[in-house]
Structure 1
Amino acid sequence: MSTLKHDVCQISARLPAAIAALLSVGLVLAASGCAKHEAPVQPVAQPQAPITKPAPATPIDAKKVELGGATWDPQWDAIVEKALPGEMLSTAVPRDVRRFCPRFYGMSEVDKRAFWAYFFQALAGAEAGLDPDTRVRHTDPAVAVIDPVTHRAVRSEGLLQLTYEDQQRYGCDFNWDADKNLPPKDPAKTILQPKNNLECGVKILDHQMIDQHKGVVSRTSYWSTLQPGTISYRVFVKQMANPPLACGLATNTRRVARVASKTQSRETAIR
């Protein structure tokens, strides 16, 4: 009995120490767990918006400022510049870009964005006279087809003269269901809204240059204005006479001006 009593006393004496040790460990673990739980959550870095700058005025835009009519909205520069994918600012851009911007590959991204903004201003000038509400129905049998989205004769619309079919082809933000009950030239139509039209144009040109490995100018371009040998291409070249200074086109300005002058004279003779 004395031995059993002695053992019980020893265990009883050790219990407070053991319990204290367990409590101590528990408190440490709890504290570390709480500290981990209460640590501030680091905010997720948001992608930085690209730096943009206004592009120069094309000849048609400068002329319309003097005479009146639809002009290029400087906010459209930012729309184009923000929509550009990285490959359109890289060496993946075809070499023929240098005919319009000789220093393209050595320019900063900001200047490259401004060049593309100017490029699309020139394209819109040649395609639609800078009027975002322009609509054209083609009579040439080669292009007078049925649009699979609208199930009507194809019409080219907006600044870059696009179609609802481009929604399927390039993932453009056009909504025929929302537009079909609106007046033909209602600026609320998704295809006529400059943002949607210009962003779609960027996708089309990116597909031409990067996916199809064609030049900036191509005989099979989506736009006839980018098809060499056509009258509309010469109109486009005329609009490309005043790109950003960073392009270094100064040595070619006179040549481009001569081409533009000859084009104008030839078109006058044709009329």
Structure 2
Amino acid sequence: MSLPSRLTRNHLPRTPMPRLDYVHGAPGDADLVIVAHGGQENSYARAHAHRPAALRMWPFVRAAHRGAPGAAVALVRYRYRGWNGDSSHPLEDLRAVLDALPTSVRRIVLVGHSMGGRTVVQCADDARVSGVLALAPWLPDTDPTPVPARPTESLIVTAHGTHDSVTSPRATSKFVRRLRESGVPAAEFLVHDDGHPLLERHGDWDELVRRFVATAADTDPEPVLLGARTADPAHEPDALPSWSAERGTARAALSIARTRLKLSDRRSIV
């Protein structure tokens, strides 16, 4: 079968490949923090790095680096913006990235927001993953319950704003309960007075990422996170502490812009 004249082999659409954008460290470093951004329920559009969902992750990249200065920190780049039903493209992409990592990478810490939160929790079963942080995650009941390779050692944490109207705090609680019922300890935090973009209390979200990464990478364990970690299904969500005086969406937007400018010139793409 010949191709139409307007669609020769040289003009077929290129399928983007999933990859990591390294901001700190380099491929092959023993410790690696991967930050996964959000997306859409269905979309085959390219997941450009300048979209708001990806830009929102840059302060978390900085926070992760502060939590584990000796670790590499990278942003995952999906092929498409959407989850796309049973295709589960972001999950497929992150698993492909993990499978391609060199054997010198011995410990991986995962941080994800929204669709990225859904993606990272499903990768908790990777033997090298020491911690998973899901921020305002999208967690449908139909998703399987991941079982970490070392359930009693892995640090699994979720955090959800009480004013989130995009993804469901209740669904997150149900997911955490399922984890605990399967014998997997987890910590769950409610962030009062904040919504899905994580902007009103952006300083506390940044501090959560820093303290989580420091704990999962074993550089400076955080007692609040470890104290909230439990396998008791009846345990109620803990309130996220007010660690930071930073408040307000305008300040958050300015912080995101400044962080992006500071880090962009040091990014290496592989």
TM-score grouping bracket, smaller chain normalisation: under 0.3
Q: TM-score of the superposition, structure 2-length normalised?
A: 0.26
Greater helix proportion:
1
Q: TM-score of the superposition, structure 1-length normalised?
A: 0.26
- Could you say which structure has the larger radius of gyration? 1
